[in-house]
Amino acid sequence: MKGLVFHGPGDIRCESVPDPSPKDARGAIVQVERSAICGSDLHLYHGAMPVEEGFTLGHEFVGRVVEVGSAVHSVRPGDPVMVSGVIGCGECPACQRGEVVRCARQQTRVFGVGQGLEGGQAEAVAVPVADHAIRRIPEGISAEQAVLLTDILPTGFLGAKMADIQPGDTLAVIGLGPVGLLAVMCAQLFGPAEILAIDSVPERLAVAEELGAHAVPADQADAVVMEQSGGQGVDAVIEAVGADATILKALQLARAGGNVSIIGVSNSAVAPFPMILPFMKDLTIRSSLVPVPALWPALVPLVAHGRLHPERVFTDHMALSEGALAYRRFDAREDGILKVLLDPSK
Amino acid sequence: MKGLVFHGPGDIRCESVPDPSPKDARGAIVQVERSAICGSDLHLYHGAMPVEEGFTLGHEFVGRVVEVGSAVHSVRPGDPVMVSGVIGCGECPACQRGEVVRCARQQTRVFGVGQGLEGGQAEAVAVPVADHAIRRIPEGISAEQAVLLTDILPTGFLGAKMADIQPGDTLAVIGLGPVGLLAVMCAQLFGPAEILAIDSVPERLAVAEELGAHAVPADQADAVVMEQSGGQGVDAVIEAVGADATILKALQLARAGGNVSIIGVSNSAVAPFPMILPFMKDLTIRSSLVPVPALWPALVPLVAHGRLHPERVFTDHMALSEGALAYRRFDAREDGILKVLLDPSK
Amino acid sequence: MKGLVFHGPGDIRCESVPDPSPKDARGAIVQVERSAICGSDLHLYHGAMPVEEGFTLGHEFVGRVVEVGSAVHSVRPGDPVMVSGVIGCGECPACQRGEVVRCARQQTRVFGVGQGLEGGQAEAVAVPVADHAIRRIPEGISAEQAVLLTDILPTGFLGAKMADIQPGDTLAVIGLGPVGLLAVMCAQLFGPAEILAIDSVPERLAVAEELGAHAVPADQADAVVMEQSGGQGVDAVIEAVGADATILKALQLARAGGNVSIIGVSNSAVAPFPMILPFMKDLTIRSSLVPVPALWPALVPLVAHGRLHPERVFTDHMALSEGALAYRRFDAREDGILKVLLDPSK
Amino acid sequence: MKGLVFHGPGDIRCESVPDPSPKDARGAIVQVERSAICGSDLHLYHGAMPVEEGFTLGHEFVGRVVEVGSAVHSVRPGDPVMVSGVIGCGECPACQRGEVVRCARQQTRVFGVGQGLEGGQAEAVAVPVADHAIRRIPEGISAEQAVLLTDILPTGFLGAKMADIQPGDTLAVIGLGPVGLLAVMCAQLFGPAEILAIDSVPERLAVAEELGAHAVPADQADAVVMEQSGGQGVDAVIEAVGADATILKALQLARAGGNVSIIGVSNSAVAPFPMILPFMKDLTIRSSLVPVPALWPALVPLVAHGRLHPERVFTDHMALSEGALAYRRFDAREDGILKVLLDPSK
Collect all residues of chain D within an 8 Å Cβ-Cβ radius of residue B96.
96-97
pLDDT of B119 over the 80 cut: yes
Report yes or no: C32 and C24 within 8 Å, Cβ to Cβ: no
pLDDT of B334 over the 70 cut: yes
What's the confidence (pLDDT) of residue B96? 93
What's the confidence (pLDDT) of residue A4? 97
Minimum Cα–Cα distance from C92: chain A residue: A96
Q: What is the DSSP string of A127-150?
A: ESSHHHHEEEPPTT--HHHHHHHT
Task: Count interface pairs B-C at CB distance under 8 A.
Answer: 127
Collect all residues of chain D within an 8 Å Cβ-Cβ radius of residue A273.
270-273, 275
CATH label, B156-287, candidates 3.40.50.1860, 3.50.4.10, 3.40.50.720, 1.10.390.10 = 3.40.50.720
pLDDT of C15 over the 70 cut: yes
* Cβ pair A190:B189 closer than 8 A: yes
Minimum Cα–Cα distance from D308: chain C residue: C193
How much is the ipTM here? Answer: 0.96
* Cβ pair D297:B93 closer than 8 A: yes
The beta-carbon neighbor of B262 closest among C108, C257, C279 is: C279
Distance from the Cα of B133 to chain C's closest Cα (Å) equals 19
* Cβ pair B304:A170 closer than 8 A: no
Helices (H), chain B: 41-45, 93-96, 130-133, 143-149, 152-162, 178-187, 202-210, 221-228, 244-253, 276-281, 292-304, 323-332
Distance CA C263, CA B279 (A): 8
- Which of B287, B289, B290, B292 should be substituted to probe chain C, the one whose Cβ sees the most C Cβ atoms within 10 Å? B287
More confident residue, B114 or C3: C3
* Cβ pair B272:C273 closer than 8 A: yes
The beta-carbon neighbor of C189 closest among D167, D186, D302 is: D167
Q: How high does pLDDT run on average in chain B? A: 95
* Cβ pair C301:D168 closer than 8 A: yes
- Chains with ≥3 Cβ pairs under 8 A against C? A, B, D
Using pLDDT thresholds of 50, 70 and 90, give the confidence band for residue B336: confident
What's the confidence (pLDDT) of residue C336? 85
Collect all residues of chain C within an 8 Å Cβ-Cβ radius of residue D193.
301-302, 304-305, 307
Q: What does the pLDDT look like over A276-299, one tens digit per residue?
A: 899 999 999 999 999 999 999 999
* Cβ pair C297:A93 closer than 8 A: yes
Residues from C in contact with B at Cβ < 8 Å:
94, 99, 101-104, 106, 108, 232, 242, 247, 255-257, 262, 265-266, 268-276, 278-289, 291
| Ranges of chain A whose pLDDT falls below 70 | 269
Q: Is C155-287 a CATH 3.40.50.720 domain?
A: yes
Minimum Cα–Cα distance from D99: chain A residue: A257
Distance CA B32, CA A268 (A): 61
What's the confidence (pLDDT) of residue D272? 75
* Cβ pair D276:A283 closer than 8 A: no
What's the confidence (pLDDT) of residue B242? 93
Using pLDDT thresholds of 50, 70 and 90, give the confidence band for residue D323: very high
Three-class SS state of B220: helix
Q: What does the pLDDT look like over B143-177, one tens digit per residue?
A: 999 999 999 999 999 999 999 999 999 999 999 99
* Cβ pair D284:A285 closer than 8 A: yes
Distance CA D182, CA D188 (A): 10
Three-class SS state of D122: strand
Distance CA C88, CA D34 (A): 60
Report yes or no: C169 and C192 within 8 Å, Cβ to Cβ: yes
Q: How high does pLDDT run on average in chain C? A: 95
Minimum Cα–Cα distance from C296: chain D residue: D168
Q: What does the pLDDT look like over C91-139, one tens digit per residue?
A: 999 999 999 999 999 999 999 998 789 999 999 999 999 999 999 999 9
Q: What does the pLDDT look like over B254-269, one tens digit per residue?
A: 999 999 999 998 877 6
The beta-carbon neighbor of D167 closest among C170, C194, C302 is: C302
What's the confidence (pLDDT) of residue A333? 87
Collect all residues of chain D within an 8 Å Cβ-Cβ radius of residue C190.
167, 189-191
Backbone phi, psi, residue D59, to 5° = -125, 10
% residues pLDDT > 70 (chain C): 99
What's the confidence (pLDDT) of residue C269? 65
Collect all residues of chain C within an 8 Å Cβ-Cβ radius of residue D304.
193
Residue ranges of the domains in chain C?
Answer: 2-151+291-343, 155-287
CATH number at D154-287: 3.40.50.720
Distance from the Cα of C91 to chain A's closest Cα (Å) equals 11
Distance from the Cα of A97 to chain C's closest Cα (Å) equals 7
Minimum Cα–Cα distance from D185: chain C residue: C191
For residues C162-173, one letter each, b for 16 or more C-beta atoms within 10 angstroms of the residue's C-beta and e for the rest, the string is bbbbbbbbbbbb
Residues from B in contact with D at Cβ < 8 Å:
93, 96-97, 297
For residues C273-291, one letter each, b for 16 or more C-beta atoms within 10 angstroms of the residue's C-beta and e for the rest, the string is bbbbbbbbbbbbbbbbbbb
Mean pLDDT for the stretch of residues D226-244:
95
- Ramachandran area for residue B108 (φ above 0: left; ψ -120 to 50: alpha; else beta): beta
Q: What is the DSSP string of C66-125?
A: EEE-TT--S--TT-EEEE-SEE--S-SHHHHTT-GGG-TT---EETTTTSS---SSBSEE
Mean pLDDT for the stretch of residues C151-160:
98
- Tell me the pTM: 0.96
Report yes or no: C75 and C65 within 8 Å, Cβ to Cβ: yes
What's the confidence (pLDDT) of residue A269? 65
Using pLDDT thresholds of 50, 70 and 90, give the confidence band for residue D269: low
Mean pLDDT for the stretch of residues D138-163:
97
Task: Count interface pairs B-D at CB distance under 8 A.
Answer: 8
The beta-carbon neighbor of B167 closest among A166, A168, A298 is: A298
Q: What is the fold of C2-151+291-343?
A: Quinone Oxidoreductase; Chain A, domain 1 (3.90.180)
Distance CA D45, CA C335 (A): 66
pLDDT of D271 over the 80 cut: no
What's the confidence (pLDDT) of residue D295? 98
Distance from the Cα of A91 to chain C's closest Cα (Å) equals 11
* Cβ pair B279:C287 closer than 8 A: yes
Mean pLDDT for the stretch of residues C238-260:
96
More confident residue, B206 or A52: B206
Distance CA D346, CA D43 (A): 26
Please report, for residues A192, A264, A266, A335, the alpha-carbon distance to residue A332 in angstroms, rounded to integers and kept in the order given: 33, 19, 20, 9
Contacts of A55 (CB under 8 A, 6+ apart): A5, A6, A112, A114, A118, A119
